Structure 1
Amino acid sequence: MRYRELGRTGLKVSEIGLGAEWLERHTAQEVKEVVLHCEEAGINILDCWMSEPNVRSNIGAAIKGRRQHWIIQGHLGSTWRGGQYVRTRDLAQTKSAFCDLLERLGTDYIDLGMIHFVDEEEEFHRIMDGEFYAYAGELKEKGMIRHIGMSTHNPAVAKLAAVSGKIEMILFSINPAFDMLPASEDMTEYFKESYDEKLGGIAPERAELYRICEKNGVGITVMKGYAGGRLFSAETSPFQVALTPVQCLHYALTRPGVASVMVGYDTPEHVDQAVAYETASEKEKDYATVLANAPAHAYYGQCTYCGHCAPCPSGIDIAMVNKLYDLAVMQPEVPAALKAHYEGLTANGKDCAECKSCEDNCPFGVAVTEKMRKAEELFK
């Protein structure tokens, strides 16, 4: 495993990391197996943005006695209310959720305290000039977080963070598909139905962001490196050609300022597929040949399972329903295991009230209510 400096934090992180989101759907034993396999492979950084209590506890149990091995990204503003994830700027709720994170992970500090999911410039300024950033500063002064970071999908917000002098590192979405598209405060504008021919390469705003981060010593950790897995299939990729995990990782890790890619794993085998990057040949890493003739197609309307559609008034785990649906339609027949998983959810497509609050929250313009209807028809 190779390690990189995370900006000016003084931390050295494995260039392949653990994005723990997928561990939500696994047992404590399965979580432990993945975490231990990561550790054995030399992975030393994990991101836990999730507020769901069980996954936090399971991760805590998995790293018990080995806390010193891990550099942890924990998020401020990711809360659990009414059985669902809720992003908030309410300070009382944020404080409670952070205390819960420490307790369940079995630690008294978080290495990278991430101001969670800031995608609008106006909100960025409110946070930085108000009590929310002040709270992060207090935690740092007390040693409860060691460095202050921010997560965002918007390169304009990321640039503001990188030049602020107050944000030490950024969790940002990077993959070949996203990087072709221009910045916008309206997230749906990132995923237009067609590309302008002039945008055949990386969008200038994104290239500039990476250069600024490298220049200013603001480290980047990467989310969405696989674009929710869609880049692995010619049928679902905007390029209509499949990329490999190694190619996706190489793309992200060749952006200036990038220190580590947070990869989601379901199994130890998934860990091995990512860690294979460390011994891959230049031919195996080559993504440029695949991207040379990218067709005019983008991600608008496609779920990447980010979970930002929550909270659902009916309690539906929308990202999970969409994930199960997308997996099922790729098969000649609906697998029994997927049908059982769908039917075992506390709430699923049949419970959708069609209020469309999820569609208002979705950064990718997904027609969620339609997807819920399709899922119910497919699995019933």
Structure 2
Amino acid sequence: MNYRTLGKSGLHVSEVGLGAEHLQGLPAEQVFAVVDRAIERGINIIDVFMSEPQVRTDIGRAIAGRREQVILQGHIGAAWLDGQYRRTRDLAQCQRFFEDFCTRLGVETVDIGMLHYIDDEADFERVFHGDVLKYALSLREKGTIGALGMSSHNPIIARKAVETGLLDVLLFSINPAYDVMPGDAALDSLFDAESYRSPALAGIDPARALLYQTCAKNNVGITVMKSLAAGALLSDRTSPFGRALTPVQCIHYALTRPAVASVLVGCRTPDEVDAAVAYEESSAAERDYSAVLGTAPLFSMEGRCMYCNHCLPCPSQIDIAAVGRLLDMALLHEHGVPATAAEHYKALSAHAGDCIECRSCERNCPFHVPVVERMHRARELFGL
């Protein structure tokens, strides 16, 4: 495994890291197996944004006794209320769930404390001129967090945050599909076929390029999320380029952006960890993504769910990411719903048929996925 310095944090992180969001809902033994394999293969950085208590506890058990081998990226502003994830700016809730993070993971300090999911101007102003930032800075001053970071999907807001001089690290969504889009575009246009046909988008969007350059100039290290676009880039059918990229190509694309130190790949199994770490032994030819990006036709990714559950809370207690993942699994099969998908769907505590169409999920979703429409489709397919 190769290691890179994560900007002015000074941390030396594996260039392939683990994004833990897909571990939520898995049996504890599977969580242990994934974390074990990651550490065995040299991965030393893990992002844990999830506020769900059990997955935090299981990850804590998985790293017990080897804390010194793991760089933890934990989030300030991710809460678990009424049995669901919620993004919060309430100071008491931020404190409560950051302390819960430390308790459940069995740690006294967190290497990187992330201001969680800031994507628009109003939220930026609320956080950076309010008590949440003061709390985060106090944690850094006391040494409870080693470095201060922020997670975002918006290059304009992210650059504004970097230019404050307060951040050591930025967690940002980087992949080829996102990078050709204008920074001020609504995120739903990331999935609109016509958006990709403009001659002005022949290369990387200037706002995103400027963000990466600004991070490099300010020595703010970037850790990467969504490098595979929740697997959409790995299939001819769902890639906006009309041809699949490989995990190695996606990882290489992100690692060749300025200031990027680590690509955090979401893995659910040890084999998926191995597939990501295969980057380390790949050839230049295997890493080369130019043939796909340079010649492939483009088509729509509209409605593509990233399974991140940023759309929660749901008043009907629907696990929207789980429903979405099972729906997409079913839609990939031309001969009916796979039995395994149907079984897992039935076992969910709430189903698409419980949706009351309040659309709070659509207002919360950073990717503007038409959630209600997808709930209708899931109910049709699964009958619940």
Q: TM-score by structure 2 length? A: 0.96
1:340 to 322, 332, 343: 343
Is the CA contact 2:117–2:151 (under 8 Å) kept in the aligned structure 1? yes
User: One-letter code of the match for 1:377?
Assistant: E
Would the alpha carbon gap of residues 59 and 21 (structure 1) be closer, same or farther in structure 2, given more than 3 Å must change? same
Task: Quote how far apart the aligned CAs of 1:294 are.
Answer: 4.2
Match of 1:217 among 207, 219, 241: 219
Determine the structure 2 residue equivalent to 1:248: 250
Report if the CA contact (8 A) 2:242-2:298 is conserved. Answer: no
Q: Once superposed, what is the RMSD of the aligned Cα atoms? A: 1.2
The size of the alignment, in residue pairs, is 380
Aligned position for 1:157: 157
Whether the 8 Å contact between 1:121 and 1:156 is mirrored in structure 2 is no
Alpha-carbon shift at residue 141 of structure 1 (Å): 1.6
Give the percent of matched residue pairs that are identical in Structure 1 and Structure 2.
Answer: 53
Matches within 5 A, 1:43-122: 43-122=43-122
SS in 1 for 2:7: coil
The 1:298–1:112 alpha-carbon spacing in structure 2 relative to 1, beyond 3 Å, is: farther
Indicate the larger mover: 46-55 or 323-332. Answer: 323-332
1:272-309 CA distances to partner (integer Å, 9 max, x unpaired)? 10000001001100111100034343544321212121
Question: Is residue 313 of structure 1 aligned with residue 320 of structure 2?
Answer: no
- Of stretches 115-124 and 3-12 in structure 1, the one that deviates more from structure 2 is 115-124
- Cα shift readout 1:327-376 (whole Å, capped 9, x = no counterpart): 11112332211111101011011111111111122222222111111112
In structure 2, the partner of 1:42 is: 42
Q: 1:349 aligns with which of 349, 352, 362?
A: 352
**Aligned partners of 2:300, 2:212: CA distance in 1, in Å?**
22
TM-score normalized by the length of structure 1: 0.97
Query: Counterparts of 1:115 and 1:299 in 2: how far apart (Å)?
Result: 29
4+ residue runs of structure 1 moved beyond 3 angstroms?
A: 185-193, 294-300
Structure 1 residue 125: Cα displacement: 2.7
1:25, distance to aligned residue in structure 2 (A): 2.3
**Between 311-320 and 329-338, the greater mean CA deviation after superposition:** 329-338
Match of 2:200 among 190, 198, 201: 198
Distance in 2 of aligned mates of 1:191 and 1:178: 9
Cα distance in 2 for partners of 1:71, 1:315 equals: 33
Aligned twin of 1:263: 265
Provide the residue aligned with 1:364 in structure 2.
367
CA contact (8 A) 2:242 2:297 kept: yes
Counterpart amino acid of residue 349 in structure 2 = T
5+ residue gaps in structure 1?
Answer: none
1:300 touches 1:364 (CA, 8 Å); kept in 2?
A: no
